[in-house]
Amino acid sequence: MINMSHVGLRYDGGPEVLTDISLSLKEGSFHYLMGQSGSGKTSLMRLLHIGKLPSRGDIHFFNKDVSKLSRSKRALIRQKIGVIFQDFRLIPELSVFDNIALPLRLSGESDKAIKTDVNAMAEWMGLKDHLKMKPVFLSGGQQQRAAIARAVIAKPQILLADEPTGSLDDEMGLKIMGLFEELNKKGTAIVVATHNKNLVKAFPHPLLTLKSGELIP
Amino acid sequence: MMTLSRQLIPLSSFHHVGLMVMFMIFIACFSAVGFLFVKTITSGWIADIDHSMMIELPPYMIDDETLIDQATIDKQTVKVMEILKNDPVILTSTMKTSNISDLADFGIAMPAFIQLTLHPDRAENNEDRIRRNINRIIPNAIVKTANDWQRDIVQTATYLKLIFCGLAVSIFFLTTIMLSAIIKAQLKASKSIVELFHIMGASPSKIASLFQISILRPIIWGILIGLIIVLLTLSHLISFLDLGFGLGLFYAYMFGVSFIFIALGIFVTRWVVARYLWAMP
Ligand SMILES: Nc1ncnc2c1ncn2[C@@H]1O[C@H](COP(=O)(O)OP(=O)(O)OP(=O)(O)O)[C@@H](O)[C@H]1O
Ligand SMILES: [Mg+2]
């Protein structure tokens, strides 16, 4: 699904924060992305959801070189990718319900289908009583669950999760990982950036380890 | 998209767009009325003075500006009338007496004006001959043909019409500039939302449509209210002045202007959003 070869990334002509990255994400694959703070995990995620284009090397999405695609084609690829941001990025003006519903609204689902899906997802996430609230009135963990719900609700083919359990207690963390496992079994390629060694132990998967912007084997 | 647009772009952010459009609609229609007014009036005048000549007997010599007294001017008038009397080409000749007769009481000589109407078929060739005949006897007589007058009127009218056209065109320029500034500001205010949508795979045209929906609402309101004001004031003026053109033409223009404003709303939004998103991959 995604192939990177000898990719480098720099921000605004600064130093390279990612150097010579080559990796391949296949359908149904599951990777952990590990590395110290500042090692480039979020930056790599940005390349994976086409939030940035590589400064060198090339990335193929579904066998197409992303740098050579038109903007509208890139938009189509992004629609197949669910992203859980480290900083959640919930829209403060929208209720939790509307935040979770965003991807469905963008893909033009009917109001009825949206209602059913969002309610079911909120039930599962334990957010049912908070659907009408604005995100600021939620705890950190509740916000994180809303962000996760938004990323998975449209059943993406690729799921990128940047520290998805950082604000969750162990029980909820394991529950979320269970959800990821379930999606993964249905074919979703998943990358989870995390510092949490317990998760890795509980759900073993191959590791991608970054050290100062380089993947170490 | 309707729901999203309503949720994300506060209605208040584009309120002033409605007010602006209302004002612009009024100016655009006002300049059209001005244009048509000038056009109708001048074509009326031109028809009136066609095949006519004007002879002016000024109270001074053209060459050296020496003054002439009233008695001489009166004598010149009689002479001119005599020359004209037997000319077969001339249909009518009318003395236009000056109505500032008070001045005459102070011994100040008044110019005399004689207006001629020529036979329409033979006017062309005879204008010069009449001018020469009169100037041979009274060198300081100023003889103007319809052509001379028309040239002045047409020139002035052309300037006026250009001004009104320029006004109408600059309305659309101004609207484009103001609209794009307003949309740019709103894009900056909604920066994080726009970025998020971009990452979620919304295409530029989808993001643009969010803004389009919320900007078209005040534009349409502005148009409606603007048109009502125009109808209440200008169309009344048109029928009152009896400009010689049907209101139908004016309604068509109003319709066209409204259409242009809506089109501007759509295209400027798309363009500004596309340009904004150009900075993102
Ligand atoms: N938007 C940006 N502009 C410029 N430099 C950036 C930007 N984002 C990250 N960096 C730099 O890139 C490097 C990698 O940052 P990144 O956020 O990818 O690390 P990380 O592994 O996600 O860290 P953490 O575990 O703390 O989230 C850092 O040196 C950081 O300063
Ligand atoms: Mg990070």
pLDDT for residue B60? 85
> A125 C-alpha to center of ligand 1: Å?
29
In a domain, B116, yes or no: yes
Q: To the nearest 10°, report the CA torsion of A149, A153, A157, A163.
A: -10
Residue B22, domain member (yes or no)? yes
Pocket of ligand 1 (CB under 6 A): A 11, 14, 17, 35, 37-43, 86
Q: What is the pLDDT of residues A144-158, one digit of tens each?
A: 999 999 999 999 999
| Res. A78: pLDDT tops 70 | yes
At B244 the pLDDT is 59
Is residue A12 assigned to a domain?
no
Is B148 part of any domain? no
- Report yes or no: B209 and B1 within 8 Å, Cβ to Cβ: yes
Same domain, yes or no: B181 and B236: yes
Q: Please report whether residue A121 resides in a domain.
A: yes
Is the pLDDT at A18 greater than 90? The verdict is yes
- B114 plus B203 within the same structural domain: no
Largest Cα–Cα distance of chain A, in whole Å?
Answer: 49
pLDDT of residue B100: 53
What average pLDDT does the segment A72-101 reach?
92
* Residue for token pair 């609230």: A133
Flag whether pLDDT at B267 surpasses 90. Answer: yes
Q: Which of B140, B175, B193 is the last residue of a domain?
A: B140
Please check the confidence at residue A175 and state whether its pLDDT lies above 60.
Answer: yes
Number of domains within chain A: 1
Q: Assign B97 a pLDDT band (cuts: 50, 70, 90).
A: low
Whether A178 is covered by a domain: the verdict is no
Q: Tell me whether residue B51 is in a domain.
A: no
Q: Answer yes or no: is A215 within a domain.
A: no
Provide ipTM, 2 decimals: 0.90
Spacing, Cα A190 to ligand 1 middle (Å):
21
Nearest CA-CA distance, residue A198 and chain B, Å: 30
**Cα angle: A122, vertex A123, A125; to 5 degrees:** 60
Inter-chain touch A51–B197, beta carbons under 8 Å: no
Q: Does A69 touch chain B (CB under 8 A)?
A: no
A86 phi, psi to nearest 5 deg:
-60, -35
Q: What is the pLDDT of residue A89?
A: 93
More confident residue, A125 or B239: A125
pLDDT at B115: 84
Number of independent structural domains in chain B? 2
For A6-10, B179-183, B186-190, which range has the lowest pLDDT when averaged over its residues?
B186-190
Residues B109, B171, single domain; the answer is no
B100 in the same domain as B11? no
Alpha helix positions (H), A19-166: 41-48, 71-78, 96-106, 111-125, 140-152
Residue B86 inside a domain? The answer is: yes
In a domain, B73, yes or no: yes
Name residues whose C-beta falls within 8 Å of residue A89's C-beta, 6 or more positions apart in sequence.
A147, B192, B196
For residue B131, give Cα distances in angstroms to B88, B139, B254: 15, 10, 48
Strand-pairing partners, residue A30, are A190
Asked whether residue B31 is domain-assigned, the answer is yes
Lowest-pLDDT range, A89-98, A121-130, A132-141, B247-256?
A: B247-256
CB contact (8 A) between residue B4 and residue A106: yes
Tell whether B158 is within 8 A of chain A (Cβ): no
Residue B30 resides in a domain:
yes
pLDDT at B236: 73
- B185 and B255 inside one domain: yes
On the question of pLDDT at A135 being above 70, the answer is yes
Question: For the whole prediction, is pTM greater than 0.90?
Answer: no
B260 with B229, same domain: the answer is: yes
Looking at every residue in chain B, the average pLDDT score rounds to 83
pLDDT in tens, B153-176: 788 888 998 999 999 899 999 999
Averaged over A63-69, what is the pLDDT? 92
Ligand 1: atom nearest CA of A36 is 25
Domain of residue B244, residue span: 2-37+167-277
Q: What is the pLDDT of residue B116?
A: 84
Q: Tell me the C-alpha to C-alpha distance, in Å, between residue B15 and each of B182, B215, B272.
A: 11, 9, 19
Can you say whether the dihedral through the CA atoms of B125, B126, B129, B134 is positive or negative? Answer: negative
Quote the pLDDT of residue A6: 93
> In this structure, is residue A118 part of a structural domain?
yes
Among B residues 205-224, those touching chain A with beta carbons less than 8 Å apart: 205-206
pLDDT tens-digit profile of B41-78?
777 777 666 778 888 888 888 777 888 888 888 888 88
Domain that holds residue A124: 92-155
In DSSP terms, B114 is beta-bridged to B55, B95
Q: Report the residue of B3, B4, B190, B200 to disrupt the A interface, i.e. the one with the largest count of A CBs within 10 Å.
A: B200
Phi-psi region of A63 (alpha: psi -120 to 50; beta: other; left: phi over 0): left
Mean pLDDT over all residues of chain A?
91
Same domain, B33 and B128: no
* Structural domain includes residue A1: no
